[in-house]
């Protein structure tokens, strides 16, 4: 992976990244973590790295979900994988023209602000191109973890792609000064 500094915070997309994507999920009992998600979050917490979630939830704007249902699903994710320092959700429909819906930078900027860090000190891990675009628009580092739902053109030439969430986190943590101390650089 490319990058110049170890992140101070890592922000995650929810559906397809942290948990299996169940479209417009209103049922906390359907929450299933993605492979290696628990290990990735344990590693970040052990390293003292702040974490947050940035998630488009257009089902609210479409009238398919309530904000309370999304909060209950998020609470289940938090119980299984957290704690997360912030949850930033865009409830708008895609055509609403808001500045928070990924690929716009609003969710990433809000999450960084709430965590008390600069966006450029954040990494965003997601499963689709909109996650990368939101990260870049906010000045953060984006990493894509493709799934079967990810279009090939969203990651074919992407230098910051990882086969799973744990590999993505391990790569992010090996960036920067710690890499040289571990024998990777000149002494």
Would 1 be classed as within a structural domain? Answer: no
Would 183 be classed as within a structural domain? Answer: no
Tell me the angle at which helices 67-81 and 37-46 cross, rounded to the nearest 10 degrees.
70
pLDDT score of 151: 87
Based on the residue annotation, tell me whether 15 is a catalytic residue of this protein.
Answer: yes
pTM for the whole structure: 0.90
- Which of 93, 128, 130 minimizes the C-alpha distance to 108? 130
* Total count of residues recorded for the chain: 187
pLDDT score of 4: 58
Q: Where are the beta strands (DSSP E) in the chain?
A: 9-12, 50-56, 86-90, 122-126, 141-144
Q: Which of 15, 78, 121, 157 is catalytic?
A: 15
Q: What is the pLDDT of residues 129-150, one digit of tens each?
A: 999 999 999 999 999 999 988 8
Binding-site positions for Zn(2+): 90, 92, 98, 100
- Which of 133, 124, 126 minimizes the C-alpha distance to 105? 133
Binding-site positions: 13, 15, 90, 92, 98, 100, 127
User: How far, in Å, CA of 156 to CA of 151, rounded?
Assistant: 9
Would 64 be classed as within a structural domain? Answer: yes
Binding-site positions for Mg(2+): 13, 15, 127
CB 47 within 8 A of CB 173: yes
Containing structural domain, residue 116:
15-177
Domains in the chain: how many in total? 1
Q: How far is CA 156 from CA 14, 25, 76, in A?
A: 22, 29, 33
In this structure, what CATH number is given to the domain that contains residue 53?
A: 3.40.50.1000
The set of residues, in sequence order, having a beta carbon less than 8 Å from that of 6 and lying 6+ positions away, is: 172, 173, 175, 176, 177, 178
User: How far, in Å, CA of 143 to CA of 127, rounded?
Assistant: 8
CB 115 within 8 A of CB 142: no
Would 119 be classed as within a structural domain? Answer: yes
Listed as ranges, residues in the chain with pLDDT below 70 are 1-4, 175-187
């Amino acid at each position: 992976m490319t990058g110049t500094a170890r992140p101070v915070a890592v922000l995650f997309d929810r559906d397809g990244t942290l948990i299996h994507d169940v479209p417009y999920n209103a049922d906390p009992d359907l929450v299933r973590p993605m492979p290696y998600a628990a290990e990735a979050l344990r590693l970040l917490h052990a390293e003292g790295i702040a974490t947050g979630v940035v998630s488009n939830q257009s089902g609210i704007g479409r009238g398919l979900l309530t904000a309370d249902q999304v909060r209950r699903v998020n609470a289940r994710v938090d119980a299984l994988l957290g704690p997360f320092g912030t949850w930033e959700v865009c409830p708008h429909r895609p055509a609403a023209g808001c500045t928070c819906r990924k690929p716009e930078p609003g969710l990433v900027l809000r999450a960084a602000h709430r965590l008390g860090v600069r966006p450029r000190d954040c990494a965003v891990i997601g499963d689709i191109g909109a996650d990368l675009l939101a990260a870049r628009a906010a000045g953060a580092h984006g990493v894509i973890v493709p799934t079967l739902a990810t279009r090939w053109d969203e990651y074919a030439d992407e230098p910051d792609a990882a086969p799973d969430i744990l590999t993505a986190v391990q790569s992010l943590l090996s960036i920067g000064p710690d890499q040289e101390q571990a024998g990777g650089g000149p002494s």
